[in-house]
Amino acid sequence: MFRLNQLAGQFKEVKFLADPLEYLQLYDMLEKDEKDICYAVRKFAQEKAAPTINKYVEAAEFPTEIVEALKPLKLIHKTNTYVKTGLAYLELAKVDAGLSTFYLLISSLVPHSIETFGSEEQKQKYLTRIKDMDILGGWALTEKEYGSDASSIQTTVKKVQGGYLLNGNKRWIGNGNKDILVVWARNSENNNIEGFIVENKWAGVHAEPIKHKLALRIVQNCQITFKDVFIPDENRMPKAKDFQNGVTQALQHSRVGVPWIALGIQAGVYENVVKFITRRKQFGKHIAGFQLQQERLAKILTTFQASFLMVLQVSRLAQEKKATLGQIAAVKAWVTDKTREVARLGREMMGGDGILIENYCIKALTDAEVVYTYEGSYDINSLIAGREITGLAAFK
């Protein structure tokens, strides 16, 4: 179980655990096909993404060459369960949580919305190209004035001959400047929030990446404006009839995936910290032998074990359609909260070197803040769980 690291100089050979999944033999809880996905994505992430990802992070640029290298794996076709998809998120997030978030959008939110709420014609037109990564999509719900209060969005559609006119704005939309968008808008006739497939090339669509953000830097989060965008009737998703039977269902699905990204951040912190403290020497010994370092390392590792067990269980329940909205929300809230602590501890353990991008932990620290917030903030998810536990709603 334990891998060996040969330390240079006068230091003896030291045993250390390099892979956090090995500690409680967590691999034994996975099926063979799940492990195959894990290993395949790990190989891609380490060989194709890790060598160049940080230059894109520093420039806040979309990593086109890495995404092109991902296409031949046909990964979206293979990750057909919550656990398989989640393991892909985990392995990508160990390299960069932004890359993992990008993959969540194109593998979960966008295709799942079309599969669940779309017509057969829409599925035929878009799904294969999405899953082949020939087109990239975003999921447009949040607006500048409406984040957690998503049911109050003001972007509207108005019925006209042959389709709808779309007007309004969206903010923080990942992949918002790519090929297509799943857009949620209020129907001016019935006041319901309905779903539409919008192509970015259409007249009246303007997407501008948000600048100066210091987390998930490769993700192209956009401010989008829609001015009299004509949406043909055939691009309205017929089963996305209102907020509950549309937005809520879609978020319940994708929210299972977010804790897997948080797990990847935890694992990335652990692996980078172990690599660092078994090489770094101070006061005549490697710092892995110091009491405070070992206490922090044990806390990081045990947090990962507990988080993994929670995330795996809720993913199994979701696959069997047994997971409740509150259970998923509770796991998302708890695991992302603990991920912030793990990232902070990892940065502390590296001292000044912890703020260097190549040592991962400072990147993990900022990215963890976003994962803690998106797909429902910690507070909102906690209240969703609290409502389910008590039967009393403490929020709108």
Question: What radius of gyration do the chain's Cα atoms show?
Answer: 22
Instruction: Scan for tokens 């992070």, then name that residue.
Output: 57
Q: Given pLDDT bands bounded at 50, 70 and 90, which one contains residue 375?
A: confident
Give the model's pLDDT for residue 150. 83
For residue 148, what pLDDT is reported? 77
DSSP 270-333: HHHHHHHHTT-EETTEEGGGSHHHHHHHHHHHHHHHHHHHHHHHHHHHHHTT---HHHHHHHHH
Express each pLDDT in 270-283 by its tens digit.
999 999 999 888 89
The pTM (predicted TM-score) of the whole model is 0.92
Neighbouring-strand partners of residue 162 = none
As beta bridge partners, residue 165 has 158, 230
CA-nearest of 266, 291, 289, 270 to 278 is 289
What's the burial of 346, exposed, middle or buried (CB within 10 Å: 0-12/13-18/19+)?
buried
Would the pLDDT of 5 be above 50? no
Residue 251: what pLDDT? 84
The predicted structure's pLDDT at residue 146: 84
pLDDT value for 376: 85
Is the pLDDT at 323 greater than 50, yes or no?
A: yes
Average pLDDT over residues 13-23: 79
The pLDDT assigned to 125 comes to 97
Residue 109, token pair as written in the block: 């939110």
Output the average pLDDT for the chain.
93
Residue 15: what pLDDT?
63
Query: How large is the average pLDDT for residues 227-241?
Result: 96
Mean pLDDT of 78-106: 96
Instruction: Please check the confidence at residue 9 and state whether its pLDDT lies above 50.
Output: no
Distances in whole angstroms, Cα of residue 277 to Cα of each of 50, 272, 347: 20, 9, 12
Statement: residue 320 has pLDDT above 70: yes
Is the Cβ–Cβ distance between 382 and 350 less than 8 Å?
Answer: no
Stretch 299-319: mean pLDDT, rounded? 97
Question: Of 106 and 8, which is predicted with more confidence?
Answer: 106
Query: Which pLDDT does position 281 carry in this prediction?
Result: 87
If one counts every other C-beta atom within 10 angstroms of the C-beta of residue 365, the result is 22
2 pLDDT more than 60: no
- β-pair type (222-232, 3-5): unpaired
SS3 sequence, 190-258? Answer: CCCEEEEEEECCCCCEEEEECCCCCCCCCCCCEEEEEEEEEEEHHHECCCCCCCHHHHHHHHHHHHCCH
Four-residue CA torsion sign, 179, 41, 274, 265: positive
| 184-218 confidence digits (pLDDT tens) | 999 999 999 999 999 999 999 999 999 999 999 99
Hey, is 165 helix, strand or coil? strand
**140, containing H or E segment:** strand 137-140
Question: Which whole number is the average pLDDT over 136-158?
Answer: 91
Output the pLDDT for position 139: 96
Count CB atoms within 10 A of the CB of residue 316: 15
Q: Are the CB atoms for 239 and 245 separated by under 8 Å?
A: yes
Pairing of strands 156-160, 163-173: antiparallel
CA angle 228, 167, 171 (to 5 degrees): 130
| Pairing verdict, β 285-286 and 281-282 | antiparallel
Tokens representing residue 61 in the block? 């640029």
In angstroms, the CA 230 to CA 165 distance is 5
- In this structure, is the dihedral angle defined by the CA atoms of residues 118, 255, 172 and 52, taken in order, positive or negative? negative
pLDDT band of 103, cuts 50, 70, 90: very high
Whether 140 and 182 have beta carbons less than 8 Å apart is answered as yes
Q: How far apart, in whole angstroms, are the C-alpha atoms of residue 335 and residue 184?
A: 28
pLDDT (0 to 100) of residue 10: 41
* CA pair distance 17, 275, nearest whole angstrom: 10
Residue 241, classified by CB atoms within 10 Å of its CB into exposed (0-12), middle (13-18) or buried (19+), is middle
